[in-house]
Chain A
Amino acid sequence: KAGVTQTPRYLIKTRGQQVTLSCSPISGHRSVSWYQQTPGQGLQFLFEYFSETQRNKGNFPGRFSGRQFSNSRSEMNVSTLELGDSALYLCASSLLTSGSSTDTQYFGPGTRLTVL
């Protein structure tokens, strides 16, 4: 099976712009989670989607939003970019078959966003 794919891999934007990142989960996975990784804050959970519904949301401002489509592909959008949004954005998919609310996460390679 193909792994989790994320596009684009690298992105450079300027402050005030908006950006949309895309994630295609492993075939059959219905849960998609997004994380922001920075040297200072580490890995921080943004949100999780399951069957097109947001199931969990982290502590990020409303500028960060996401959605999931019927084919489980997901997008996240950041509006009015700030310098501090520069980070590696990671997407992960999971099966959610174990009965646990969170199953093993399979990560994509990430999108490196630089805000100038």
Chain B
Amino acid sequence: SQQGEEDPQALSIQEGENATMNCSYKTSINNLQWYRQNSGRGLVHLILIRSNEREKHSGRLRVTLDTSKKSSSLLITASRAADTASYFCATEPNQAGTALIFGKGTTLSVSS
């Protein structure tokens, strides 16, 4: 069953604007990861945030994690057309021997 649920399902913005995607999950986690997928291809790891971290930055990416609300957000600043892709959050439940669980993703479209 899906643990992470991304919101919104789809997002269309102009180049230069910021894009914010949210992820909610159900159970306690060890870490939460964000991945990007370009149309029909493999996923690319973007960033991992551990349960004891609240915010993390990587280039134009900023991820926050609120374990009390069981939610995370991914902010992409100054979006570019090349950021057009689907973005997935994946959670590692705090339960031994459990695999990553992916959400259904947010499709981001950045137009120039």
Contact = CB atoms under 8 A, between A and B. Distances in A.
Contacts of A90: 42-43
A95 B92 CA distance: 15
A5 B44 CA distance: 14
Helix, strand, loop or mixed for chain A's interface? strand
B25 interface: no
A55 B92 contact: no
A3 B30 CA distance: 26
A100 B30 contact: yes
Interface string A72-116: 000000000000000010101000000011101111111010000
A56 B99 CA distance: 7
A109 B99 contact: no
A44 B104 CA distance: 10
B2 interface: yes
B81 interface: no
Contact of B99 (A42, A45, A104, A112): A45
A21 interface: no
A56 B42 contact: no
A105 B103 contact: no
Interface in A9-43: 33, 35, 42-43
Contacts of B33: 104-105
A100 B99 contact: no
Contacts of A44: 102
B40 to A, nearest CB: 7
A110 B99 contact: no
B43 A105 contact: yes
Interface of B: 2, 30-31, 33, 35, 40-45, 48, 88, 90, 92, 96-105
Given A45-B99, A112-B40, 17 more contacts: A4-B42, A33-B100, A42-B103, A43-B43, A43-B88, A43-B105, A45-B101, A48-B99, A55-B97, A56-B98, A101-B92, A102-B99, A105-B35, A105-B90, A107-B43, A107-B44, A110-B42
